Structure 1
Amino acid sequence: MHTVGKFVLGLMGQLRAKPAAGDSAMSVSLPLPEKQGGLPLMEALAMRHSSREFSPEPLPLPLLSNLLWAAYGINREDGGRTAPSALNAQEIDIFVALPSGAYRYDAATHTLILVAASDIRSTTGYQDFVDEAPLDLVYVADYMRLSRVPFNQRESYASVAAGAIAQNVYLFAASNNLATVLRAWIDRTAIAEALGLTHDQQVLLSQTVGYTSIIKKNQEHGD
């Protein structure tokens, strides 16, 4: 669907998810992440950029596992994460929008937990590329975990945490020849309804990830 059409549907409160492609597994156990390799940090920073051209080719499960761990996985025995959060509140949840359904990433078990048996990718942004890109990450703040922070400051705290996670995704993408773009122009109400969020949860940002269409074309031609 084109951007203008999606925007109009959003204004009308009619931006809706599509039926899932295939069966929606109740949970997906991710392979253990590979915590070594990739580009040196300075090279990854030099290559970090946003891209809005994506191949629909799905990411293999091991690559998705590494991506989610890099984004916000547990990297210490005390439960610490790869991205910081104030007071160690860990208030951000990552929801993964796939053709087969929408899942919440459970870092403690490194598992995807089904939250919606529908394809919500088209609701995660007004741009047309989000409909066909293999996955969209949605960053959601759970303000119940920020009870020690004054109410009027909670969104700022959570937004900083979400930004740190998004940068992890950017650096992982740069290190693995993936395309990604962080998006704030989104219909937060439509996404919240599609995910079944509570009043204590707020959609902050979405981030599309996938192979670039250019890389996919080169692979198809043997380059």
Structure 2
Amino acid sequence: MLLTTLITRPLAVALLLAARPASMAQDAPAPKVELPAPARGGGMPLMQALEGRRSTRGFADRALPAEVLSNLLWAADGVNRPATGGRTAPSSYAKYPVDVYVVLPRGLYRYDPPGHRLVAVAGGDHRAEAGTEPHERVAPLNLVYVADLGRVGETPAPASREDWLSWSAIEAGCIAQNVNLYCASEGLGAVVRVSVPQGEFRKAAGLRADQVILLGQSVGHPASR
């Protein structure tokens, strides 16, 4: 029986956000974790969030609430136009090749925007495979943006692999900035980085040859708070 059938969704996500003892580090996470519905109202005015946006490289070892994770992922790349499947971040030809991998102390997941849920990739704490600096391994949430070039398919105009890599990098940058602005609005810290150990993360996430790691981003409560 899945974990999410036994307890409420916010509690299920909260348990996944929390670190587990080393003896339980390799327990398999629930195959799919339904996130709470995102809160689409409120927040800081845009200009104030822009003024507050900055990079944070010191994080408190404190889990993010389930509702915060839900809101953050929806802000990052969630579906904001259900009728068309459009998202909060733009994508060339609406192909959406960039996947957001969610690295929590409890497991490694992929965010599924249409279902607004986490899809399990691997159990255990993989923060060491998601970043090279000590602060990245303390942050309760690490995001890794991966371009899946295997699903771009046909486009109205000819497009090369280099084109799609460039367009995917732009898409990932837009997603990361959405996260930055959400974090500024909510008093959280975040930093965008290229320090993702390519070989280690590829192995942990089981990436194929046509999946390309673009960026990493660490998120959490600033260490001073």
Q: TM-score, normalised by structure 2?
A: 0.84
1:192-211 to structure 2, matched below 5 A, reads 192-211=202-221
Instruction: Spell out structure 1 runs of 4+ moving beyond 6 A.
Output: none
Output one character per residue of 1:123-159: Cα deviation in whole Å (capped at 9) or x when no partner: 1121111112101001010002334321222211110
Matched, 1:32 2:37: yes
Give the total of aligned pairs: 198
Q: Which amino acid aligns with 1:156?
A: S
* Structure 2: unaligned runs, 5 residues or longer: 1-21
Which of 53, 57, 64 is the aligned partner of 1:59?
Answer: 64
Distance 2:138 2:182 in 1: 21
Distance 1:168 1:53 in 2: 20
1:2-21 to structure 2, matched below 5 A, reads 20=25
Which of 168, 190, 197 is the aligned partner of 1:158?
Answer: 168
Which of 72, 75, 79 is the aligned partner of 2:77?
Answer: 72
Counterpart in the other structure of 1:10: none
Q: Which amino acid aligns with 2:197?
A: D
Distance 2:61 2:32 in 1: 22
Distance 1:59 1:22 in 2: 21
1:1-223 to structure 2, matched below 5 A, reads 20=25, 24-77=29-82, 78-147=84-153, 148=155, 149-215=159-225
Distance 2:209 2:188 in 1: 34
Partners of 2:27 and 2:123 within 8 A in 1: no
Partners of 1:24 and 1:114 within 8 A in 2: yes
Q: Percent identity between the aligned chains?
A: 44
Q: Which moved more, 1:190-199 or 1:159-168?
A: 190-199
Q: Which amino acid aligns with 1:205?
A: L
Q: Which moved more, 1:32-41 or 1:118-127?
A: 118-127
Q: Which amino acid aligns with 1:211?
A: H
Partners of 1:39 and 1:175 within 8 A in 2: yes
Structure-2 change in CA distance of 1:21 and 1:59 (3 Å): farther
Tell me by how many angstroms 1:43 deviates. 0.5
Q: Which moved more, 1:206-215 or 1:144-153?
A: 144-153
Q: Which moved more, 1:68-77 or 1:194-203?
A: 194-203
Tell me by how many angstroms 1:118 deviates. 2.1
* Structure 1: unaligned runs, 5 residues or longer: 1-17, 216-223
Output one character per residue of 1:143-191: Cα deviation in whole Å (capped at 9) or x when no partner: 0233432122221111000000000000000000000000112211211
Distance 1:108 1:70 in 2: 13
Give me the CA root mean square deviation: 1.4
Distance 1:155 1:20 in 2: 34
Distance 2:58 2:103 in 1: 18
Q: Which amino acid aligns with 1:157?
A: W
- SS at structure 2 position matched to 1:54: coil
Partners of 1:21 and 1:99 within 8 A in 2: no
Q: TM-score, normalised by structure 1?
A: 0.85
Tell me by how many angstroms 1:27 deviates. 1.9
